[in-house]
Structure 1
Amino acid sequence: MIKGLYEAHLPVSNLQQSINFYEKIGLKLYKKYEKVAFLWIEEGKSWIGLWEGPQAEIPYHVSLRHIAFYVELEDMKKAKSWLKERGIEVRDEFRMGAEEPIVVPNQAHAMIYFDDPDGNSLELITRLPKEIDQSEKMYLSKWEEFYS
């Protein structure tokens, strides 16, 4: 029955500024209204709704203001430079720094984090081909060195 995630929504303080940001990372504007816009993540399959209003002042918490975008492993390897080319800083996550994507071996995921203009947490994530029985996080390059 369920095939994937179709939509997610985030609060923003300035709708046009946020549209510009999300277009910069490759999303395509579908509809814009006075205080709401929808941008395709994957046209016809998934989108994000941006809602301008005071809710953008609600403090960040991963359960409230977070979206993870799926990318292929090869794209993950160049994600930091791709974001930097667009003027977007990678966020330090898990107190590991922001040198490169981070791997959670026992979940078989690599990820990199950044924020939109309102501090909503965004993530690029990819599934790795193999889970490793280790909970200690590591950089993607180290994971590749040992496990690929």
Structure 2
Amino acid sequence: MKLGCFSISLAVKDLEKSKAFYEKIGFEVFAGEESHGYLIMKHGDTNIGLFQGMFEKNILTFNPGWNQDAESVDSFDDVRQLLERFKSKGIEIAEDSITGAEGPSSFSVIDPDGNPILIDQHV
């Protein structure tokens, strides 16, 4: 399975403090809007999303169709294909937000330890 770009989405209490902390250890702002309550920070191939007030838990995120620089790739497993593969393996789907036959969509699962995993396709 090609899950795409990986990042961890952190539920932060203070976006400015979190941004300053991650900048101190080498991350730079890659995308996002502080005024909208989120930033995507990057250090090499490592991506961390900082989200204030958007969700309660940290989330592991995969973006089918993107590489680690959020650039579209030619060959990838569509989120709809991934959903069917997860289901066929007996994985319970926590949230199914699939819309249409192609393009952006998402679904999520919860791992055995309660960690949310979001499969979020933007292309």
Q: TM-score range by the shorter chain?
A: 0.3 to 0.5
Of Structure 1 and Structure 2, the greater strand share is in 2
Of Structure 1 and Structure 2, the greater helix share is in 1
- Indicate the structure (1 or 2) with the bigger Cα radius of gyration: 1
Asked which structure has the greater RCO (Cα within 8 Å, sep 6+), the reply is 2
Q: TM-score, normalised by structure 1?
A: 0.32
Q: TM-score, normalised by structure 2?
A: 0.38
